[in-house]
Structure 1
Amino acid sequence: MTALRLGTRRSALATTQSGWVADRLRAAGHEVELVEITTEGDVSGELLTAIGGTGVFAAAIRRALLDGRIDVAVHSLKDLPTAPEPGLTVAAVPVREDSRDVLVARDGLTLGELPAGAVVGTGSPRRTAQLAALGLGLEIRPIRGNVDTRIGFVTSGALDAVVLARAGLARLGRLDQATEVLDPIQVLPAPGQGALAVECRSDRSDVVAAVTVLDDADTRTCVTAERSLLATLEAGCTAPVGALAEVVEGDDGLELSLRAFAGSEDGTFELRRSLVGPYDRPEALGADLARILLEDGAADLTPSSSTASDHATHEPEQAS
């Protein structure tokens, strides 16, 4: 096989993530060439909720895969729609980074130390809903931009704080700028947050075989449960969604613990539910917990009570 052409967005975080995958493929004996691709999400200055959610980041790279211009694509998993893409397969989900969110605040403040009326920036309806539900009296302001831009809002004094994905800061070597790692009890991450998806064409068995060695079974199991929950909710709920699955030791061996959030962006309604199930049935676990959320009121959340159009999936990690 000739050198693997690995497609990546041009952002610092995207190229860092793609470089991480490329290094591991090289360590497995493959030549790898990075190919930069510009997506609609990179050139638009609008909020992601206005231009179609995370699909604006994945679509151009997927087209390059299907057209044969690249052999492998690296996505932040939470950027991918839950529906499979015909002709493509996620051949590997490498070991996951820490999935939690972090606060970057002025004066080293934590979330609990921010005064009432403090202005917190985020482009994520999921984060907005959960922060509002905490009842801290914060003003949540929508923002866009890469990691440097978002942190710059704080250092310039335009905002008191921003909320970002810990994984992005970790991959960029910027964790020292986080003033607090947010406990999932307060803010659950987006389904798939912190995980990467390595995608290729289904008919390229040579590429699939080369990439599969990067797959991490526990990570794939956890994100499968989270994304199954999201996919099941999409049929009957427009609320921002958070979800986190973890492998736990049960009485009879490994089990999967799944926690989820659905609520309104103004914080007036929130559901938090959890479920434990068999390790080898992550899709069923996610679907079961989604149905519990729907039965308990998530189905009653409408676009008028929550402006999220495609759940937690429009907060791309490359920019968060």
Structure 2
Amino acid sequence: MTLRVGTRASALATTQSSQVAALLTELTGVETELVTVSTEGDRNTRPLAEIGGTGVFVSALRDALLAGEVDVAVHSLKDLPTAAADGILLAAVPTRVDPRDAVIARDGLTLGELPAGSRVGTGSPRRTAQLNALGLGIEVVGLRGNVDTRISKVRDGELDAVVLAAAGLRRLGRIEEATELLDPLQVLPAPGQGALACECRSDDREVAGLLARLDDGATRAAVTAERSLLASLEAGCSAPVGAWAEVVDDDGSLQLWLRAFAGDPSGAPSIRLSATGSVQDPTGIGERLAAEMIAEGADSLMRADAP
């Protein structure tokens, strides 16, 4: 038996899919092969909010899965729509890698060391809102493209810095290029950032059983809370919403801490709230915190419409 693992064609996507495939072989003994699939998000370089935001990196892989062209689809979990997809099972969420955002700036600088007026690139409304909220006097400019494309904007002098996910740099073996790793209490990551999603057809019990070996309970609980908050806010993956959950040991009892941000892309106003509860109730924690944020006016701040 050889499992066909569907992946996007970018260097990061194929790297993380290869890592999943290797882990699957290690844990189950099954052979794997990668199958590349072109997605709308790869073909269209316009801002994500303009081309549909939610699902633009996911739909083609899911179509290939349902068509029987691949047996497993691997996604960056932050790209995954929060609504369930017919015929698709989220069979595994492997152990999360670093959820933080990373800065790559000229001359080895940190964000705080950049002079006023410096141009900082990101394609994320979430990052834009939080960077502007820091009040550093930087100019946040839109940016799309793969890791190499974004970093080259700094190397070529077009931008003073870029902000991107630390997990991607780590998976590519390039984390040493980061000049700063942002404290998630200062700049909250995207819901699900640093985690991967392994999907299969919901009626394929054999593959689902194999993928279950990769699932990490603490990671799944954390991202479930984050995505529950996102869904309850009715915000898409391109909305200015950040969320980060951690499983912590509180005197022998496992608790889940969830922190969240929603803000106007201009940086003001913004809302930051947190909640805690049993690790057995991640969905409820996310829903309750979202309700508190809506009561504080979060829905009026999120100008990036969820598709």
The normalised TM-score by structure 2 is 0.97
**2:280 counterpart residue number:** 280
Q: For 2:140, what is the secondary structure of its paired residue?
A: strand
**1:85 counterpart residue number:** 85
C-alpha distance in structure 2 between counterparts of 1:88 and 1:284, whole Å: 23
C-alpha distance in structure 1 between counterparts of 2:235 and 2:41, whole Å: 25
Q: How many residues align?
A: 305
**2:246 counterpart residue number:** 246
C-alpha distance in structure 2 between counterparts of 1:45 and 1:182, whole Å: 26
**1:198 counterpart residue number:** 198
Decide whether the 8 Å contact of 1:239 with 1:301 is kept in 2: no
1:45 is displaced (CA, Å) by 2.1
1:48 is displaced (CA, Å) by 1.3
Compute the RMSD of aligned alpha carbons: 1.4
Q: For 1:283, what is the secondary structure of its paired residue?
A: helix
**2:187 counterpart residue number:** 187
Please state if 1:172 is matched with 2:168. Answer: no
1:251 is displaced (CA, Å) by 3.7
Decide whether the 8 Å contact of 2:132 with 2:138 is kept in 1: yes
**2:43 counterpart residue number:** 43
Question: Residue type matched to 1:20 in 2?
Answer: Q
C-alpha distance in structure 2 between counterparts of 1:57 and 1:110, whole Å: 30
- Structure 2, unaligned runs of 5 or more: none
Question: Residue type matched to 1:310 in 2?
Answer: A
**1:155 counterpart residue number:** 155
**1:22 counterpart residue number:** 21
Cα shift readout 1:128-159 (whole Å, capped 9, x = no counterpart):
00000111111000011000000000000000
Decide whether the 8 Å contact of 2:270 with 2:301 is kept in 1: no
Q: For 1:55, what is the secondary structure of its paired residue?
A: coil
**2:255 counterpart residue number:** 255
Q: For 1:103, what is the secondary structure of its paired residue?
A: strand
Question: Residue type matched to 1:10 in 2?
Answer: A
C-alpha distance in structure 2 between counterparts of 1:60 and 1:149, whole Å: 23
Decide whether the 8 Å contact of 1:239 with 1:263 is kept in 2: no
Please state if 1:69 is matched with 2:51. Answer: no
Question: Residue type matched to 1:31 in 2?
Answer: E
- Residue correspondence of structure 1 range 65-144 to structure 2 within 5 A: 65-144=65-144
Identity of paired residues, percent?
A: 62
1:239 is displaced (CA, Å) by 5.3
Cα shift readout 1:41-77 (whole Å, capped 9, x = no counterpart):
1111211111111411100000001111110000000
C-alpha distance in structure 1 between counterparts of 2:47 and 2:84, whole Å: 25
Please state if 1:265 is matched with 2:261. Answer: no
Cα shift readout 1:254-297 (whole Å, capped 9, x = no counterpart):
10000000000001211000011011000000000000100011
C-alpha distance in structure 1 between counterparts of 2:19 and 2:183, whole Å: 27
Question: Residue type matched to 1:257 in 2?
Answer: W
Cα shift readout 1:195-248 (whole Å, capped 9, x = no counterpart):
000000000001101111000000000000000000000179x95100000011
